[in-house]
Structures are given as C-alpha cells and as structure tokens.
C-alpha cells in the first residue's frame, strides 16, 4: 500500500467544511478545470473552422494541380495526360486554362480569372452542391455558358434566369499584341450565364468564372495549349496519395510541378495552424497561472500539518516519504482539475456539434463548427501532467526543506 498517496487523498477529500485549506484546494481544482476546459473548446473550435475551410476548398479545387515551374502556358503534347488518367487512384484528369480577364455587364466591369475546363470536369467535383442559381452546364445545344461566382454576380448585377437571356462580355488579353491606334490587345466574346456558384470563400466567389476549355481557347487564341492539369483522385489513404503524387511527378518531368490542395493554399492553412499554436501557448500560460493557487494551497497545507508530520516521523516515515505525501497532494489537485476540465470541454464541444447552441449570424454555416481531435486531447493532458509535476515537486521540495520538517 502506498501510504503517502493514501494520506494525500485523505487530506484532499477531508470532510471538514470549515477547513479553509479545503476551500483553497477546491478553488485550485476549479481554476485548473476551467483552464483545461477552455483549451479543449478553443482548440476544437479552431479544428472546426479548419475543417470547414478545407471542405470548401475540397468542393472547389482539384486534389492535385500540375503547372509549369517557369512560365505560364505549355503545349499539351508535353504532358502525357492519358498516362496520368491510367494511374491507380486517379478519378479524372483535365487540362485547364486559367487567365485573367475583364468581365463586363453593360457599363460595369470586374477583373477576374477565367477557368476553362473540359466538359466532364464537374462530374468529379462537388461544385454542384455549391450552385445557388441555374445549372452546372458549360455547353448546351451548341451554346456556350459561363458559371461565375456569387460575388461577381452581386457586383455586376446579372442573373442566370433563362427568361432574361443575360449575356456577359468577356475581354481576354491576347499574347504578343500591343496597344496602338489601329489595334487593341483584347479579344471580346459574349457568353450567356448558365448558373452561379457560392463556395463561401470570398477569394473564389469574387475571382473565378468557369467556361468550357473550347471557349477559352477561342477567346485567348490558344492552339493546343494549356496552363495546367487538374487531377481528381479516389478516396485514398495518406500513403497512397503521396505515392500517386510521386508517380505524377515522374510522368510530367522536371519542367513541371505538382501541388496538393494544401500546397496550393499554403498561406491560409499555415496561418490557421499558427494561430492555433499561438492560442494553445497562451492557454498554457493561463493554466500555469491557475497552478499558482494550487501552490498556495500546498503551502497552507504544509504549515497546518506540521504536527501531523511529526507523528508520521515517530511511526517511521522518512523525509522523502513526507515530500512524496505533499507532492501527491499537489499532483492530485492538478489531475482532478485537469480531468474534470477535459470531460466538461469534450461534452460541451459535442453538445455544440449535436445541437449548435452557439449560432453564427450572416454566414453560410449555421453554428460555430467544432471538431474534437484525439491528438489535441493528448497534448492538453501532457501539458496538465507536466504543469502538475513541476508545480508540485519544486515548491514541496523547497518548503519542506525551508520549514525543516
């Protein structure tokens, strides 16, 4: 039987309601519990936001994107697209043309990015779930249609309602053309609006307009040229996905690079992770501050129990066992507060996931997203144990020696 641990439990859970040390100890437990709970809730909130952003990009962007290391356009014969399509794990691969254009509706103009894709492109995306108007068709009965973002629609004031036959004018910059009195470097094409998408990501909704790759080639006067290849994959494991990326790199050669969705938007994803780490560090300091109340309760306990300790010496306790007794007392306070806080934090997060009692106004999501991750719980637990060990061991060692117990 571990007698120091047993006595430490008796001290912590003593039933003397008037014992001020018990009150201070409970305050310490509550402080550590609140800090731990805050860690779980805040980190889960960051996870939820990160997942929402990732899902938005998953619905819009390709899993892998091939582009030139230097330059912008390339001859399509330089990439063996059929060989890429035959790789295990590839669901669909499409040549794409991306170019900055000026979109015009009557007397309103907006600069945006034209994205020309092959017609089966949308069969492999989730863009159909993001349509707020019209249909996801780029060509029907020989007529070309465009699919712009919702922000572009708001700024230019057009509709996709077929009753109005709303046409937009696309001004595409031509290569190797200079502005002069007799010529201009733009090619103009009119196109009807087929539908409007909204991803919830402002940069996408204000930036992109989809057209067929044939229309893009005609507008920009491309001849068997493209700016990239979008590759959509099956549901692959992380290892299978990495192997597929490596195989694609071998096929395309050194002139090209292949990027994952996270690499395409590295700034956004890295910023989210950096913010999460920064908040975690701040909350660790809050936990350390809460641990000071535990140190205060340990100090008061050592002062009050001096007579009890002399009794323990008389029955054979050593100084090391006395230090262990008070060390266990501090550790129990930290662990009790930590586990209570973790349990409450996880429970609150799941209540938010199930019932969404914290709503978000004027947003495409109804409530604050939450995502509880096991690794976060593990990191929080390690932090609690570490703070508990340090805040118990050194104060007890100092105080016991100082008071010459």
pLDDT in tens, the chain (405 residues): 566 666 666 666 665 544 676 777 788 888 889 999 999 999 999 898 888 877 777 777 888 999 998 888 899 889 888 999 999 999 989 999 999 999 988 888 999 999 999 888 888 777 888 888 888 888 888 889 999 999 999 898 887 666 556 789 998 887 665 555 555 677 889 998 988 998 888 888 899 999 999 999 999 888 889 999 999 988 888 899 999 999 999 999 889 999 998 888 888 888 888 888 898 899 888 888 888 877 877 777 777 767 776 776 677 777 777 777 778 878 888 888 899 999 999 999 999 889 888 887 766 677 788 899 989 999 999 998 888 888 887 777 766 666 554
User: Which phi and psi angles does 10 have, rounded to 5°?
Assistant: -60, -40
DSSP, collapsed to helix, strand or coil, labels residue 94 as strand
Residue among 113, 120, 115 nearest 81 (CA): 120
Predicted local distance difference test score (pLDDT) of residue 175: 67
Residue 285 vs residues 35, 277, 280, 376: alpha-carbon distances, Å? 9, 13, 9, 17
pTM: 0.72
How far, in Å, CA of 32 to CA of 41, rounded?
Answer: 14
Encode pLDDT of 118-147 as tens digits: 888 888 777 888 888 888 888 888 889 999
How far, in Å, CA of 241 to CA of 90, rounded?
Answer: 10
How far, in Å, CA of 392 to CA of 333, rounded?
Answer: 10
Break the chain into its structural domains and give their ranges.
3-57+268-402, 62-264
The per-residue b/e assignment along 17-56, b for 16 or more CB within 10 angstroms, e otherwise, is eeeebbebbebbbebbbbbbbbbbbbbbbbbbbbebbbeb
Residue 72 · residue 379 · CB < 8 Å: no
Residue among 140, 9, 46 nearest 372 (CA): 46
Count of Cβ atoms closer than 10 Å to residue 323 Cβ: 19
């Amino acid at each position: 039987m571990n007698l120091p641990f047993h006595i430490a439990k008796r001290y912590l859970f003593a039933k003397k309601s008037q014992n001020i040390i018990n009150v201070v100890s409970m305050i310490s437990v509550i402080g550590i519990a609140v800090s731990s709970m805050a860690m779980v809730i805040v980190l889960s909130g960051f996870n939820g936001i990160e997942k929402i952003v990732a899902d938005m990009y998953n619905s819009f962007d390709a899993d892998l994107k091939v582009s030139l290391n230097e330059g912008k356009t390339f001859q399509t014969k330089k990439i063996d697209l059929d060989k890429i399509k035959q790789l295990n794990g590839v669901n669909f691969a499409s040549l794409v043309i991306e170019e900055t254009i000026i979109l015009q509706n009557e007397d309103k103009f907006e600069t945006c990015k034209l994205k020309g894709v092959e017609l089966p492109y949308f069969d492999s995306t989730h863009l159909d779930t993001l349509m707020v108007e019209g249909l996801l068709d780029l060509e029907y009965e020989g007529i070309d249609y465009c699919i712009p973002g919702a922000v572009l629609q708001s700024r230019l004031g057009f509709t996709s309602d077929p009753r109005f036959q709303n046409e937009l004018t696309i001004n595409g910059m031509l290569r190797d053309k200079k502005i002069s009195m007799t010529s201009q470097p733009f090619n103009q094409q009119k196109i009807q609006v087929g539908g409007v998408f909204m991803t919830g990501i402002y940069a996408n909704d204000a930036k992109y307009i989809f057209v067929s790759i044939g229309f893009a080639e005609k507008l920009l006067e491309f001849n068997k040229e493209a700016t990239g290849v979008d590759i959509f994959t099956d549901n692959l494991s992380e290892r299978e996905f990495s192997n597929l990326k490596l195989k694609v790199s071998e096929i395309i050669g050194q002139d090209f690079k292949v990027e994952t969705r996270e690499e395409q938007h590295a700034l956004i994803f890295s910023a989210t992770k950096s913010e999460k780490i920064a908040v975690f560090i701040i909350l660790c300091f809050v936990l350390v501050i809460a641990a000071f109340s535990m140190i205060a309760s340990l100090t008061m306990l050592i002062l009050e129990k001096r007579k009890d300790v002399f009794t323990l010496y008389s029955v054979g306790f050593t100084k090391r066992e006395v230090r262990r007794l008070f060390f266990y007392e501090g550790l129990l306070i930290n662990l009790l507060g930590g586990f209570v806080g973790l349990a409450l934090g996880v429970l609150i997060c799941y209540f938010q996931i199930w019932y969404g009692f914290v709503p978000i106004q004027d947003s495409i999501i109804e409530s604050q997203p939450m995502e509880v991750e096991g690794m976060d719980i593990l990191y929080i637990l390690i932090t609690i144990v570490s703070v508990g060990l340090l805040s118990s061991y050194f104060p007890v060692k100092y105080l016991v020696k100082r008071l010459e117990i």
